[in-house]
Amino acid sequence: MRATITTGLKWLLVNQSVARNASFQPRPKSSDCELFVSVLGLHFVGRIT
């Protein structure tokens, strides 16, 4: 569980820094939160099934 959270956070950080370095428009924080929540949801669903 904790590994999934840290991996998700690292992925978000890498994603944001890559986007900044490539001079893309940074995505709004809300979409990052939604993405993180969906990753956690998928993790829980994978554990249940």
CB atoms within 10 A of CB 39: 16
Q: Is the pTM of this model over 0.75?
A: no
Average pLDDT over residues 3-20: 74
Q: 41: pLDDT confidence band, cut at 50, 70 and 90?
A: confident
Cα of 16 vs its chain's centroid, Å: 10
Q: In this structure, which amino acid lies at residue 28? A: P
Looking at residue 23, what is its pLDDT?
56
Average pLDDT over residues 14-42: 67
The more confidently predicted of residues 34 and 21 is: 34
DSSP letters, 1-49, are -HHHHHHHHHHHHHHHHHHHHTTPPPPPHHHHHHHHHHHHHHHHHHHH-
Q: 2: pLDDT confidence band, cut at 50, 70 and 90?
A: confident
